[in-house]
Structure formats: structure tokens, C-alpha cells
């Protein structure tokens, strides 16, 4: 079993709580079925961006991670990401898309990671686990555009910035 645990209140271990936003019912089913294999729990699903904006605030406590697709009816993932982060700045969104061309736009909208579809669930779970541990996920982004945003221990979103390991400050 892949170790996908995070520290919960009082140091207890808890599962990664995930909201899945995707119009593909097979992908949603895969996430729900994977809950029995990985230490993950699907706490909410939506089939488009508008539905996600309605459901997210009703999930208590909020999900640890929102897995967001791009191409969906009614509202695309990038638009939903922008609005969701305006409404809930602490939300952490991992973008998954079969459209690699939206990677830069998704990160600019506030996504903290990007994975191209199709992906292996174990690879996505490794990224989610590392994000929960506030470590940098394995880069699926070319080094020139890699950015990261991590949620601090106080729950505030740090400002998105260039990765200093890739582009060190000039001296």
C-alpha cells in the first residue's frame, strides 16, 4: 500500500481528503474505488466548474486537495480554479488534463501542481502525498516554467513565485 498519510489533529494519521471535479464518470469512479487501495477519501465530486463552486463550501472540513479537470461543460477548470481561489484562498488545486497546453495557464490561475492525462493513480497519489507533506511534487512541468505555491502551516497561501532551485536570484 502506498503511504498517503498526513498528520492530523494531535499528530494522528489521517487520509488525504480529495474533491474530484471532472465530467468523466469513469474517472470519478476510479477515484472512489481507489479509496480502498490508497489512503485517500473522496469527500466531494462535481461534474463541472459551476457545480464545484456550489459543492466545495458545503464540505466540512474543506478537502485537503481538489483534483480539477480543464474541459468540462458549463465552466472550465481554469475559470473554476480562479473563482474557487477568490472565494476560498486556502484551497489547494491539482490540475489534471489531457490538454498539456493549459499547464502554464492552470498554474497561473493558482493550481499547485499539474498532471497530464492519462496518469497512473499511484503517480497522482505520490504527488498528493508530497503536497500534503509540503514537499515539492515531482516536476511534470519544464524547468523554465516550474512554479510552486504551498500552503503554510498557518493555512495562508504563500505568494506564487519562481522556483529558486531552477532560477536562482541574480547576485
For residue 8, being part of any structural domain is answered with no
Q: List, for residues 93-123, the tens digit of each pLDDT value.
A: 999 999 999 999 999 999 999 999 999 999 9
pLDDT at 65: 96
| Angle, vertex CA 120, rays to CA 124 and CA 138, nearest 5 | 45
The whole-angstrom distance between residue 24's C-alpha and the CA centroid of its chain comes to 17
Q: What is the mean pLDDT of residues 84-90?
A: 96
For residue 55, being part of any structural domain is answered with yes
Cβ of 126: how many Cβ atoms within 10 Å?
17
- Cis before 92 (ω within 30): no
Q: Is the pLDDT of residue 134 over 70?
A: no
Q: What is the mean pLDDT of residues 154-158?
A: 31
Q: List, for residues 38-58, the tens digit of each pLDDT value.
A: 889 999 999 999 999 999 999
For residue 85, being part of any structural domain is answered with yes
For residue 129, being part of any structural domain is answered with yes
For residue 33, being part of any structural domain is answered with yes
Q: Is the pLDDT of residue 73 over 90?
A: yes
For residue 171, being part of any structural domain is answered with no
- Say which DSSP state 126 is in: H
For residue 43, being part of any structural domain is answered with yes
Q: Quick one: what percent of the chain has pLDDT higher than 90?
A: 58
Instruction: Tell which wins on pLDDT, 139 or 124.
Output: 124
- Whether the Cβ atoms of residue 66 and residue 96 lie closer than 8 Å to each other: no
At 132, the pLDDT band (50, 70, 90 cuts) reads: confident
For residue 2, being part of any structural domain is answered with no
pTM here is: 0.72
Domain holding 44: CATH number?
3.40.50.2300
Range of the domain at 76: 15-146
Which residues lie below 8 Å from residue 2, measured CB to CB, with a gap of 6+?
38, 39, 122, 125, 126, 129
Cβ of 37: how many Cβ atoms within 10 Å?
13
Total domain count, the chain: 1
Q: What is the mean pLDDT of residues 13-28?
A: 89
Q: Quick one: what percent of the chain has pLDDT higher than 70?
A: 70
The whole-angstrom distance between residue 136's C-alpha and the CA centroid of its chain comes to 13
Question: Rounded to whole angstroms, how far apart are CA atoms 81 and 144?
Answer: 23
Instruction: Tell which wins on pLDDT, 153 or 80.
Output: 80
Amino acid at each position: 500500500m502506498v503511504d498517503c498519510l498526513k498528520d492530523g489533529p494531535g499528530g494522528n494519521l489521517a487520509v488525504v481528503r480529495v474533491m474530484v471535479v471532472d465530467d468523466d464518470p469513469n474517472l470519478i469512479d476510479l477515484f472512489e474505488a481507489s479509496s480502498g487501495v490508497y489512503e485517500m477519501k473522496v469527500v466531494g465530486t462535481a461534474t463541472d466548474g459551476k457545480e464545484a463552486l456550489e459543492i466545495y463550501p458545503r464540505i466540512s472540513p474543506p478537502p485537503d486537495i481538489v483534483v480539477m479537470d480543464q474541459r468540462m461543460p458549463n465552466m472550465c477548470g481554469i475559470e473554476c480554479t480562479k473563482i474557487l481561489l477568490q472565494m476560498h484562498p486556502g484551497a489547494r488545486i491539482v490540475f489534471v488534463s489531457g490538454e498539456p497546453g493549459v499547464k502554464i495557464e492552470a498554474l497561473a490561475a493558482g493550481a499547485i501542481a499539474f498532471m497530464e492525462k492519462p496518469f497512473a493513480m499511484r503517480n497522482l497519489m505520490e504527488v498528493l502525498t508530497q503536497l500534503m507533506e509540503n514537499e515539492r511534487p515531482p516536476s511534470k512541468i519544464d524547468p523554465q516554467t516550474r512554479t510552486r505555491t504551498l500552503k503554510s502551516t498557518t493555512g495562508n497561501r504563500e505568494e506564487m513565485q519562481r522556483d529558486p532551485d531552477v532560477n536562482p536570484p541574480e547576485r
